[in-house]
Amino acid sequence: MPVLRPEISTNVRIFSGMTLLRTRFRIGGLFRPQATVRRAYDLFATPLPSSRIRAVQASASGHGAAESEFGHGGERIRTYAWGDPQRQPYVLLAHGWSSHGTRFAGWARRLQDAGYAAVAFDQPAHGHSSGRRGNLPVFADTLLAVGERFGPAAALVGHSLGGAAAALALARGLAARRAVLIAPAADPVDASFRFARHVGLPAHLCRQMLALFERRTGVALRDLQAQHAVPGIGRPALIVHDLEDREVPWGEGERYARFWTQARLLTTRGLGHNRILDDEAVIVASLRFLAGQDVGARIVSSPDLPRGFA
């Protein structure tokens, strides 16, 4: 009898699970629309369990960081420090959705070689931090709290949703002289509709899910969109995004570079959404940017020239 290889067996289970999930959302949308909206909202706000699993594995294998915790917003937030952020200029590192702080361990080693300390942390409901759910406002608020705890940073590096949180935190006064945003998400509305298509949630129910988000968080979605959040940030930024990113389209990174007056855009190809964070050339380019060098292209925008390179 044929035997399925483990990876094929896993793919079959994932496919079967997604098919069942989409079927439930489509049927629920017809017969129990409000309950389906609430279920979609909870699912959208719940990170994958792999965040905690990978964090435990990283701690077990040794990441070289000094770990600590502090309380914020009713949760316990785990932090990681490489070097001495009280005595050295330090770089604050913000992970993305369903990720964890020690995902940046490779960055921390390179930053130490360049003379920086590094600080990372697990967002609520991620890694070793407590909590069950999260969202972009929670990400930004927690990032602000970590920045206040460790003091002004030489730079801030954020990946994916962590990049979006980094921009919002800077707009709200986070002290960091420079920022590197890698594959940053620019628009929670677009992200919500991508999620809806993925799980089979009808578009009209996705709009209701967005309205539920605004009611529960008290935050207007407009205020979370890059084009409204970043124009007033008066610090240099490097935006790094891959043309073949299937999770957060390249155009979202370009949007940051277009509306952030002191930003430059570095475009890669073939790295996707996650491998870009570990790419040696991306790390080297980021270190050059932190040292004050010009990296990437400047995007310009005007009524006569909606977008272009300079």
Mean pLDDT by 10 residues, the chain (310 residues): 37 52 74 88 92 85 90 96 96 97 95 97 97 96 98 98 98 97 96 92 94 96 95 95 96 95 95 96 97 87 48
Q: 238's torsion region: left (phi>0), alpha (psi -120 to 50) or beta? A: beta
Domain assignment of residue 12, yes or no: no
Q: What is the pLDDT of residue 7?
A: 37
5 falls within a domain = no
Across the chain, the runs of DSSP E, i.e. the strands, are 66-72, 75-82, 90-94, 117-121, 153-159, 176-182, 237-242, 263-268, 299-300, 308-309
124 in a structural domain: yes
Element (H, E) at 208: helix 203-217
Asked whether residue 205 is assigned to any structural domain, the reply reads no
In a domain, 154, yes or no: yes
- Determine the pLDDT at residue 14: 39
Q: Is the Cβ–Cβ distance between 104 and 65 less than 8 Å?
A: no
What pLDDT was estimated at residue 100?
Answer: 96
* Domain-embedded: residue 152: yes
Asked whether residue 130 is domain-assigned, the answer is yes
Domain count for the chain, please give it. 1
Q: Give me the domain span that covers residue 184.
A: 49-193+227-309
Q: How far apart are CA 136 and CA 295, in angstroms?
A: 28
- Does 10 fall in a domain? no
What 3-state class would DSSP assign to 289? Answer: helix
Q: What is d(CA 48, CA 53) in angstroms, rounded to the nearest whole number?
A: 10
Q: Residue 131's domain is classified under what CATH number?
A: 3.40.50.1820
For 102, list phi and psi in degrees, rounded to 5: -75, 0
Q: DSSP secondary-structure letter at 65?
A: P
d(CA 53, CA 116): 28
pTM recorded for the entire structure: 0.89
SS3 state at 81: strand
